[in-house]
Structure 1
Amino acid sequence: MGNSLKSARFLIESRLQDAARGNVEACFELGMVYSSGAAGADIDLIEAHKWFNLAALNGNSRAQECRAEIAEDMSSADIAEAQKQARAWLQTANRRAA
């Protein structure tokens, strides 16, 4: 089980680095990881919505569909938190790029 946890952490860290470089597919994959618990990660719909939102903002239509699907299982407060986190990520990414 330790190796599974290490693999999940590596996958997430790798995808976070790619997302920070603007990789839209990495954002989508992070959404999939957090929405499904893939690679041993905990299911976190707020985190999943955030990543799907970031991918959708960059034109990923699959992310738009997935975001809408998980939003059905989220409260308005959860969606607002996910959107807040997505905006914070964008602000941080823009500062890194500057």
Structure 2
Amino acid sequence: MARLEIENADFAGLGANANADILFEMGLACATGRDGETDLVAAHKWFNIAAIKGSARAGALRAEIAETMSKAELAKALRDAREWMTRH
């Protein structure tokens, strides 16, 4: 199965108008390995962006995942989220 990534052309137009629920679902897919391997860095990234867009559930899961991540993983997730927000 293909992984759901926001960089895909299908999602390129989401940008600043992205629905927090869609971003939350992307975080869940990465956190649970729904569409492949579990990726906590990507999950944190999408939960972070969803939380910025107003999802309280995403903020709670972001905090929970952060407790299990190394400092390097957390730094990468934050950089990735910041980069995505800057580009979109």
TM-score range, shorter chain: 0.7 to 0.9
1:22 paired to 2:22: no
Structure 1 residues 13, 89: closer, same or farther in 2, change over 3 A? closer
| Offset of residue 13 of structure 1 | 5.2
| Offset of residue 28 of structure 1 | 0.4
Structure 1 residue runs without a partner (length 5+): 94-98
TM-score (norm 2): 0.83
TM-score (norm 1): 0.75
User: 1:12 aligned to 4, 8, 16, which one?
Assistant: 4
Please identify the structure whose Cα radius of gyration is greater: 1
Which aligned segments of 4 or more residues in structure 1 are displaced greater than 2 angstroms? 18-21
More helix, by proportion: 1
1:77 paired to 2:72: yes
- Please give the secondary structure, in 2, of the residue aligned with 1:12: coil
Which one-letter code corresponds to 2:22 in the other structure? A
1:45 paired to 2:40: yes
Structure 1 residues 13, 67: closer, same or farther in 2, change over 3 A? closer
Q: Which has the higher contact order (CA 8 A, sep 6+)?
A: 2
- Please give the secondary structure, in 1, of the residue aligned with 2:46: helix
Aligned residues: 83
| Offset of residue 83 of structure 1 | 0.4
